[in-house]
């Protein structure tokens, strides 16, 4: 079901949606198209983009519009009471439960529930939610009786849900069940001249609220408004517009005044490339392995050169100790070459070769062999260095190594590294 421009404008007016950005219009169109169905919807977007409006649009244009609409901020409810809030509880189910209580899923039977910040739900509650989505069944806290409910679930999240799955904070099966129809709300910095429309609307609203002339921006200030990154999105723009409206005496806002309300303003929206102080920075686990292998290859070349020098010195009538020849055999055996080429079959003197004049060189060589040829040892060493650098903070160490915190945790357990 496609909607013309007239319908789109009426939807925007009804729900207070301001802007003409194509991504915003697309989100509204999807919301209206999916509304008549009972499909689950997952709304994603940064904090402050206005995600809470779209569940209202879906509910209004659905067959459930005369039923209950309940919005629940999952991040604002304590973990110990979230199950009771959503599914209800029986009298005596826990301390303070002096009477039975219906949960939101029971109250909203036949209607719509909007679960904002759904990624903040505890894993145990996610299991209960998945059961409701799949079977329509739930059990009150402290009860064993299964109850049925017919509720349309719309969820929203401002975090990267796939990353939360990777970090074992969100169930993958629940994500796919909620994400039947995804709707992405664009960030304010993407929306171009929509920023001016929003600023003007907020300025007029606050002028009426505080009974004063509306503030306006000169051309240079407009450029700053457009180039700022707006990490807090529409919510941040609204708050700053209100602050300026109240605090500033002059109604025409200059670049200097506007910049004073944007302390982190950098003058452009391009991402800043952060240069690490350390040379050893990697973007992926694969690059760590490449680096290790490169270092190993370099070490091997140095070792081969050293051994060839020793072979040449054999011709100068130096003696070879058996243990030293064992080291060379070990070296070439590991690297895919044949040490025999340089031992008994090559020269009798090689078997008796003994370095009297520079014994320490042979010992150093043996130590380098052990260090350079151990891929696991290199990896353990790098992990320990990263952990030491950040005083055992795994998150920072993982970022330094260019791997996920989950991968780092697995390797710490695998190698038995003590923090």
Check whether residue 294 and residue 209 sit in a common domain. Answer: no
Give pLDDT tens digits along the chain (419 positions): 455 555 899 999 999 999 999 999 999 999 999 999 999 999 999 999 999 999 999 999 999 999 999 999 999 999 889 999 999 999 988 888 889 999 999 999 999 999 999 999 999 999 999 999 999 999 999 999 999 999 999 999 999 999 999 999 999 999 999 999 999 999 999 999 999 999 999 999 999 999 999 999 999 999 999 999 999 999 999 999 999 999 999 999 999 999 999 977 776 554 444 434 433 334 445 455 555 665 666 667 667 767 666 666 655 544 445 555 555 555 555 444 444 444 444 444 444 444 444 444 444 444 444 444 456 777 888 888 888 888 888 888 888 887 887 788 778 888 788 76
Q: Out of 167, 186, 205, pick the residue that ends a domain.
A: 186
Task: Classify the C-alpha dihedral 91-93-97-101 as positive or negative.
Answer: negative
Domain match, 178 and 160 both: yes
Residues 380 and 239 in one domain: no
CATH number at 238 reads 1.10.8.60
- CATH no. for residue 396? 1.10.10
Q: Are residues 369 and 383 in the same domain?
A: no
The CATH number of the domain holding residue 163 is 3.40.50.300
Q: Is residue 270 part of a domain?
A: no
Task: Work out how many domains the chain is built from and give that number.
Answer: 4
pTM of this prediction exceeds 0.85 = no
Rounded to the nearest 10 degrees, how much is the dihedral formed by the CA atoms of 382, 383, 388, 389?
70
Residue 237 contacts residue 198 (beta carbons within 8 Å): yes
- 311: in domain: yes
Instruction: State which residues form the domain around 397.
Output: 376-415
- Same domain for 135 and 28: yes
How far does Cα 366 stand from its chain's mean position?
44
Whether residue 170 lies inside any domain: the answer is: yes
How many Å apart are CA 189 and CA 225, to the nearest integer?
10
Note whether 41 and 175 are same-domain residues.
yes
- Domain membership flag for residue 278: no
273: in domain: no
Please enumerate in sequence order all residues whose Cβ is within 8 A of that of 73, keeping only pairs 6 or more positions apart, or say none: 116, 117
Q: Name residue 113's beta-bridge partners.
A: 70, 153
Is residue 135 domain-resident?
yes
Same domain, 42 and 173: yes
* Same domain, yes or no: 14 and 152: yes
- Judgement on whether residues 224 and 247 belong to the same structural domain of the protein: yes
């Amino acid at each position: 079901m496609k909607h013309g421009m007239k319908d789109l404008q009426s939807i925007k007016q009804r729900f207070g949606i301001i802007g003409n950005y194509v991504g915003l219009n697309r989100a509204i169109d999807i919301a209206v198209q999916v509304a008549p169905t009972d499909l689950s919807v997952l709304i994603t977007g940064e904090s402050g983009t206005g995600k809470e409006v779209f569940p209202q649009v879906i509910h209004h244009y659905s067959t459930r519009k005369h039923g209950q609409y309940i919005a629940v901020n999952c991040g604002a409810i304590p973990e110990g009471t979230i199950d009771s809030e959503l599914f209800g509880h029986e009298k005596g189910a826990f301390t303070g439960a002096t009477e039975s209580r219906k949960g939101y899923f029971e109250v909203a039977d036949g209607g719509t529930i909007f679960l904002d910040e759904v990624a903040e739900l505890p894993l145990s509650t996610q299991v209960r939610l998945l059961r409701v989505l799949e079977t329509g069944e739930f059990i009150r806290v402290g009860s064993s009786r299964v109850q049925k409910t017919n509720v349309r679930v719309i969820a929203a999240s401002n975090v990267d849900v796939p990353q939360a799955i990777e970090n074992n904070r969100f169930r993958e099966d629940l994500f796919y069940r909620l994400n039947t129809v995804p709707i992405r709300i664009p960030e304010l910095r993407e929306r171009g001249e929509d920023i001016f429309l929003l600023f003007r609307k907020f300025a007029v609203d606050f002028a009426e609220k505080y009974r004063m002339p509306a503030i306006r921006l000169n051309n240079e200030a407009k450029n700053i408004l457009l180039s700022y990154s707006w990490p807090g999105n529409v919510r941040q723009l609204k708050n700053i517009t209100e602050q300026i409206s109240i605090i500033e005496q002059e109604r025409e806002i200059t670049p200097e005044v506007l910049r004073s309300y944007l302390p982190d303003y950098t003058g452009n929206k391009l991402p800043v490339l952060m240069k690490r102080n350390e040379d050893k920075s990697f973007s992926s686990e694969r690059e760590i392995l490449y680096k290790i292998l490169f270092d190993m290859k370099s070490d091997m070349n140095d070792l081969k050169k050293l051994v060839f020098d020793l072979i040449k010195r054999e011709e100068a009538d130096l003696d070879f100790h058996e243990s030293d020849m064992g080291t060379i055999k070990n070296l070439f055996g590991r690297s895919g070459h044949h040490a025999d080429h340089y031992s008994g079959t090559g020269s009798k003197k090689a078997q008796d070769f003994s370095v009297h004049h520079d014994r320490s060189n042979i010992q150093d060589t043996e130590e380098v062999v052990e260090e350079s040829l151990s891929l696991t040892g290199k990896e353990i060493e790098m992990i320990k260095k990263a952990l030491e650098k950040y005083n055992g903070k795994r998150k920072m160490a993982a970022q330094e190594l260019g791997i996920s915190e989950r991968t780092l945790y697995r390797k710490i357990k695998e190698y038995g590294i003590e923090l």
